[in-house]
Amino acid sequence: MGRYTYHVETVQSWLLLTRLHILIHFIAVVSLCYYRISHLLHQPPTAPWILITLAELLLSVMWFLNQSFRWHPVSRTVMTDKLPREDNLPGLDIFVCTLDPEKEPTVQVMDTVVSAIAMDYPSDKLAVYLSDDGGCPVTLYGMKEAGEFAKEWVPFCKKYGVKLRCPKAFFSQMEEDEDLLRQEGFTAHRDLIKRKIVCDFDSHEFMEHNYEQTRLFFLASIQAKYEKMQTNIDKFGSDPNNLRLVNDRAPRIEIITEEPGLPLVVYVSRERRPSLPHKFKGGALNTLLRVSGFLSNAPYFLAVDCDMYCNDPTSAKQAMCFFLDPQTSKDTAFVQFPQMFHNLSKKDIYDSQTRTAFKTMWQGMDGLRGPGLSGSGNYLSRSALLFGSPNQKNDYLQDAQKYFGNSTGFIESLKVIRGQKTTKKSSSREETLREALAVGFSYVILLESTITGYLLHTRGWRSAYLYPKTPCFLGCAPTDIKEGMVQLVKWLSELLLFGFSKYSPFTYGFSSMSIIHSFTYCLMAMSSLYSFFFILYGILPQLCLLKGIPVFPKVTDPWFAVFAFVYVSTQVQHLIEVLSGEGTIEMWWDEQRIWILKSVTSIFAVLEALKKRLGLNKMKFNLSNKAIDEEKTKKYEEAVFMAPMVLLLIINIVAFFGGIWRVLNEKDFQEMFGQLFLVTYVMALSYPILQAIVTMKSKSG
């Protein structure tokens, strides 16, 4: 356990057992590789054996890399009450990015903006920027409405100690509060207000005498105002002209509010021209870095996607526990919160919450040198993004114009961030230049966040992961399987390209960060290659079973025990991980199915990466859909995504029945046991999918 001034680090308590397990499992894996290879060398190699050996070797490498996440997992807690007084806190900018009001409904974006404005942080230290990458009239209009609404909302939250500061979330929770609705005249009062919209707060001083009455009155009136804002935005957006994306446009920056008691609120729509590369979200964030450099220039900033509202207003102070801590302030580049979702049901059958990423992987990386940057719900240090390494010398700014453009104003802002205004002679110009080229959010791959976090790590920065009980940010996960797959393919194909880029964790990573930490990035880059393993393992043993060719040792052979051990050991490890994270056995079982499903489908990511690499595909960013109640699922595309899985399923069904029939006839149960077990396992795992297909058929038929 590590104790710092403002935070505590706890190492997993059964770490020794975990490592012992890794060691034993490792020995088993190596001996299996030995078994396969020596078999190939001593017997005339057959195609099935060669392929299965390759598949298992690949899986072994990936298993090995995966252990880096288990090597030293930590979890952290913060002590916000020990932080310096509010007026000694540093400035904080909040960046919200949006693009398309069709997929990202403006009302929802404004909820996020309002929740950011209402962050529990001194308002004179806070600024909120919205990047409207679509340049849409409705977004600007929505911002103005949100700014007006915030003028009432922020004082309301402060006065009544509201914790849930995303208005939509607050009001929908309130609607469930039956006690409140039954309160003397509350609903009647609300209706009255709604009809007349009489909301002059000050003229109701008389109510100050009765706290509860006043609270109810304010509650009713603020809700009415919120609904008015929604209606106004909807009305404005009902004209298709106001929803159009303007892709050829001049920059536009508007100050939405600037008044005491409220943070500065700014609307930014950067210049976009069809002929100029815009670099997607990374480009948008870099624009915000510059614009905010002029206006508020806070040393720290929070980046959130427009669907990720701030659920716990204390997240900023929680993050400051790392940035301000005397021991970690110097080299902490960012503090990451998990991406959690409000639109998932308890039974999250597609594992859209990605437990593995936000529990196992990120906590595992946190004990190495820090989690990756996941794009939303992360607090970053401006210096980390603008200045090479934690030890960057100040003379770096001498040639600032070269890298940051000719704006002296902006360069002044950089100097302020560095806490200096004088410059000295540069010692190593070359190094300075190299570092400077990597300034800001990186464009190496489309996943600007992953690559930027990675580059920060390679330059010696650390990051921290906070997974508090109350989710700090809640967003919108894709709920239909097609959306989920599109997102998966986008991520995994980009990660594969990352593996082949000049910043590859296999080359550049090894030389510039700790080996174990770079292993974690290696695994991320390779994730789509699981598809090869699962496809081979889902076809070969099955076909061989039908033809009576054994691919595993006889059940009585001691080598069989090694295979069995590796299988059971993996399952138990996974089970422990799920259960220790407050999961259930059901979740453990579901996750296996989803993992295989996603792995098989990620063959599309490999193809996509190949196409991009060969220049057959134009760079495009598949924006995920956040308009939840959309019913039109595109059956055709869904079918394409599911094709490999369905094919494998059919093969397994045939192999299951055919195999049993054959074994009964041939009586070679001992040789075929491994393969029979495999198909049975696949059948049991896919049961819900089969059920879904059958019910779908009977519905459509």
Ligand X SMILES: O=c1ccn([C@@H]2O[C@H](COP(=O)(O)OP(=O)(O)O[C@H]3O[C@H](CO)[C@@H](O)[C@H](O)[C@H]3O)[C@@H](O)[C@H]2O)c(=O)[nH]1
**Annotated catalytic sites, by residue?**
133, 449
- Which residue of this chain has its Cβ atom nearest to ligand X in the complex? 375
Q: Which of 508, 559, 567, 621 binds ligand X (CB under 6 A)?
A: 621
Closer residue to ligand X in complex, CB, 504/514:
504
Q: Which residues are annotated as a binding site for Mn(2+)?
A: 281, 305
Does 625 participate in binding Mn ion (rule CB under 5 A)?
A: no
The entry of ligand X, Mn ion, none near residue 306 (CB within 5 to 8 angstroms by kind) is ligand X
210-219 long-range contacts, CB within 8 A, separation 24+:
212/183, 215/160, 216/180, 216/183, 216/185, 216/186, 216/189, 217/189, 218/156, 218/159, 218/160, 219/174, 219/180, 219/186
Does 312 participate in binding ligand X (rule CB under 6 A)?
A: no
Does 284 participate in binding ligand X (rule CB under 6 A)?
A: yes
Residue 75: beta bridge partners? 10
| 548, two tokens | 């009576």
Q: Which of 69, 153, 280, 519 binds ligand X (CB under 6 A)?
A: 280
Q: Which of residues 184-203 bind Mn ion (CB under 5 A)?
A: none
- H-only helix segments in 501-557: 510-512, 515-526, 530-547
Minimum separation from the CB atom of position 384 to ligand X (A) = 18
- Which residue of this chain has its Cβ atom nearest to Mn ion in the complex? 624
Does 624 participate in binding Mn ion (rule CB under 5 A)?
A: yes
The entry of ligand X, Mn ion, none near residue 133 (CB within 5 to 8 angstroms by kind) is ligand X
The entry of Mn ion, ligand X, none near residue 447 (CB within 5 to 8 angstroms by kind) is ligand X
x-marked contacts with ligand X along 334-363 as a string, rule CB under 6 A: -----x------------------------
Does 97 participate in binding ligand X (rule CB under 6 A)?
A: yes
| Options 61-69, 86-94, 95-103, 122-130: segment touching ligand X (CB under 6 A) | 95-103
CA 635, chain centre distance (Å): 27
Order across the sheet with 378-381: list the strands. Answer: 252-257, 264-269, 126-132, 92-98, 300-305, 378-381, 332-336, 462-465
- Residue 278's alpha-carbon distances to 96, 115, 291, 375, 405, in angstroms, are 17, 28, 16, 18, 17
The entry of Mn ion, ligand X, none near residue 26 (CB within 5 to 8 angstroms by kind) is none
**CA-CA distance, 682 to 230, in Å (whole number)?**
49
x-marked contacts with ligand X along 479-518 as a string, rule CB under 6 A: --------x-------------------------------
Q: Which residues are annotated as a binding site for UDP-alpha-D-glucose?
A: 103-104, 133
Does 281 participate in binding ligand X (rule CB under 6 A)?
A: yes
Does 339 participate in binding Mn ion (rule CB under 5 A)?
A: no
DSSP conformation letters of 411-429 = HHHHHHHHT-------S-H
- Residue 136's alpha-carbon distances to 105, 211, 368, 375, in angstroms, are 12, 43, 43, 23
Contact in structure between 284 and 97 (CB atoms under 8 Å): yes
**CA-CA distance, 354 to 593, in Å (whole number)?**
13
The entry of Mn ion, ligand X, none near residue 314 (CB within 5 to 8 angstroms by kind) is none
Q: Which of 624, 652, 675, 686 binds ligand X (CB under 6 A)?
A: 624
Is 2 strand, coil or helix? strand
x-marked contacts with ligand X along 411-450 as a string, rule CB under 6 A: ------------------------------------xxxx
**CA-CA distance, 574 to 552, in Å (whole number)?**
24
